Amino acid sequence: MYSFFTQRLSQLQQQGQFRCLTSLQHSGKWVEKCGQKMLNFSSNDYLGLASDYSLYTEFMQQQAESPQPLTSSSSRLLTGNFPIYQALEERIAQQFGRESALLFNSGYHANIGILPAVADKNTLILADKLVHASLIDGIRLCEAKFIRYRHNDMEHLAQLLAKNAPHFERLIVVTESLFSMDGDIADLPQLVRFKQQYSHLMLYVDEAHAIGAYGEKGLGMAEIFQCIPHIDFLVGTLGKAMASMGAYVVCDQLIKDYLINFMRPLIFSTALPPINIAWTHFLFGKLEELKPKRQHLAKLAQHLRDQLNQFSILPIPSQSGIVPFIIGDNQRTVDMALNLQKNGFYCLPIRPPTVPKGTARIRLSVTADMTLQEIDELILNLKSMVKNQK
Ligand SMILES: *Cc1c(COP(=O)(O)O)cnc(C)c1O
């Protein structure tokens, strides 16, 4: 009976796509693997908050005075709705200047739960070709019809809307704001214009990689493009720059009420531990004053993109701190990543099917606790590798 599983796994091994869990020791921006210490260029901890000792101790002192439970023991719909959840939702809604916010256990929960709750068979979902796997899984759970538009191609989306809009009661356009593999940014203002053109169109924007790390107040790309009031489902995750766990949607009160009644992952799963919510609440309170970290991140990222563009093999699409160095060939990408690791940079190769065929890459993720000198060392390393291979 197990031979089925053995065969599928060995198939993966032959294709060089077998995954396993890597054990790493963390110490701030450094990771250690098999005794090798490396600068972590694969982190989602974009502001470097995950190991910020002063934030940690300040929070723990607060907890010593009025401790929050380590478990909620229940769904929020039953007995798990502790006051700290409401406090955080109010804080998030207030910071975004919107009516309400609703918390979830993870971004994955949010993305597999919201769309199936709101999209029925009279709904058409139009999603960017490169949206995250959690959104694809959410769409698969829907009764709605589903079309993908070419990545960030607003003309393609306009055509699809013109052709299909009259045949549906509701349209939902789904995108990430900052794309996790290309580091490029969705045209949010154009999406808002579509919403003005089609009165039955709703926008669903996933800010997983942008919340905390971009915007004057750290509220993401929607803040930068002044689109916050116009996005129906403004989703963010809390495990990346926000150095916590969970996710939220910023929305109208009506949508919040609706989700509380219809969203299954919210209704049927134990809520996050209150102490975790308190930590997120604490960090949202600090968000605005973390501006210098965001500015430093932007400066490092700009420098890395400018320098890499001078010798990159393929053009770099990035407009952010996620900077893919696209090589194309799978084996060459793996070799370069291993070489960088040997030289003290923890860089990972990203290959198809995670990215389109022929675009294998090293995904470089800059974090605000790095220095310009460290970025320059990485650039020198990459440059000499590209030179040697020519
Ligand atoms: C990481 C990520 C998620 C999942 O969030 P979790 O909180 O880790 O479950 C969802 N969407 C995007 C775009 C992501 O990058």
> Per-residue DSSP letters for 355-384?
S-TT-EEEEEE--TT--HHHHHHHHHHHHH
| Contact in structure between 303 and 375 (CB atoms under 8 Å) | yes
**In a mutational test of the pocket of ligand 1, which residue from 105, 130, 132 has the highest number of ligand atoms less than 8 Å from its CB?**
132
Mean pLDDT, rounded, for 338-354: 94
Higher pLDDT pick, 357 / 167: 167
Residue 22 has a pLDDT of: 87
Apex 114 CA angle, 111 and 120, nearest 5 = 125
Rg (CA), the chain: 22
| Contact in structure between 210 and 221 (CB atoms under 8 Å) | yes
What are the residue ranges of CATH 3.40.640.10 in the chain? 54-288
Q: What is the DSSP string of 94-128?
A: HHHTSSEEEEES-HHHHHHHHHHHH--TTEEEEEE
pLDDT reading at 99 higher than 70:
yes
| Contact in structure between 215 and 179 (CB atoms under 8 Å) | no
Residue 354 has a pLDDT of: 86
Mean pLDDT, rounded, for 6-28: 90
d(CA 95, CA 218): 10
pLDDT reading at 301 higher than 90:
yes
What's the number of CA atoms in the CB half-sphere (13 Å) around residue 73?
Answer: 5
pLDDT reading at 103 higher than 80:
yes
Higher pLDDT pick, 156 / 14: 156
Question: Is 105 known to be catalytic?
Answer: no
Q: Distance between the two ends of the chain, CA-based, in angstroms?
A: 49
Mean pLDDT, the chain, rounded, equals: 96
For ligand 1, atom 15, the nearest C-alpha belongs to 208
Distance from the CA of 246 to the center of ligand 1, in angstroms?
A: 9
Instruction: Say which DSSP state 319 is in.
Output: S
d(CA 167, CA 123): 9
pLDDT reading at 95 higher than 70:
yes
Percent of the chain with pLDDT over 70: 100
Cis peptide before 166 (omega within 30 of 0): no
The mean-pLDDT minimum among 8-17, 39-48, 78-87, 96-105 falls in 8-17
- Which residues, including other chains, have CB under 8 Å from residue 276's CB and lie 6 or more apart? 244, 245, 246
Confidence of residue 390 (pLDDT cuts 50, 70, 90): low
What are the residue ranges of CATH 3.90.1150.10 in the chain? 23-52+290-388
Mean pLDDT, rounded, for 221-240: 98
| Contact in structure between 210 and 177 (CB atoms under 8 Å) | yes
pLDDT reading at 289 higher than 70:
yes
Residue 84 has a pLDDT of: 97
Q: How far is CA 379 from CA 159, 246, 375, 384, 386, in A?
A: 41, 34, 6, 9, 11
pLDDT reading at 16 higher than 90:
no
Q: How far is CA 330 from CA 167, 327, 356, 377, in A?
A: 43, 8, 11, 24
Q: What is the DSSP string of 212-247?
A: TTSSTTS--HHHHTT-GGG-SEEEEESSSTT-S--E
For ligand 1, atom 3, the nearest C-alpha belongs to 107
| Contact in structure between 243 and 47 (CB atoms under 8 Å) | yes
pLDDT reading at 78 higher than 80:
yes
Instruction: Say which DSSP state 50 is in.
Output: T
pLDDT reading at 129 higher than 80:
yes
Give the SS3 label for residue 324. Answer: strand
Mean pLDDT, rounded, for 248-257: 98
Mean pLDDT, rounded, for 23-37: 93
Write down the catalytic residue from 40, 43, 44, 72: 44
Question: Is 206 known to be catalytic?
Answer: yes
The identity of residue 351, as a single letter, is R
Q: Whose structure tokens read 């045949």?
A: 167
Residue 250 has a pLDDT of: 98
**In a mutational test of the pocket of ligand 1, which residue from 44, 109, 111 has the highest number of ligand atoms less than 8 Å from its CB?**
111
Mean pLDDT, rounded, for 132-138: 97
Distance from the CA of 131 to the center of ligand 1, in angstroms?
A: 10
Residue 15 has a pLDDT of: 83
Distance from the CA of 82 to the center of ligand 1, in angstroms?
A: 25
pTM higher than 0.95 for the full model? yes
Q: Which fold has domain 54-288?
A: Aspartate Aminotransferase; domain 2 (3.40.640)
| Contact in structure between 212 and 242 (CB atoms under 8 Å) | yes
Write down the catalytic residue from 89, 176, 184, 223: 176
**In a mutational test of the pocket of ligand 1, which residue from 112, 211, 237, 266 has the highest number of ligand atoms less than 8 Å from its CB?**
237
Residue 41 has a pLDDT of: 98
Of 206, 78, 199, which is closest to residue 138 (Cα–Cα)? Answer: 206
Percent of the chain with pLDDT over 90: 92
Q: Which atom of ligand 1 is nearest to the CA of 238?
A: 7
Q: How far is CA 167 from CA 117, 140, 201, in A?
A: 21, 21, 12
Enter the CATH code of domain 23-52+290-388: 3.90.1150.10
Residue 174 has a pLDDT of: 98
pLDDT reading at 268 higher than 90:
yes
pLDDT reading at 60 higher than 90:
yes
d(CA 189, CA 191): 5
pLDDT reading at 200 higher than 90:
yes
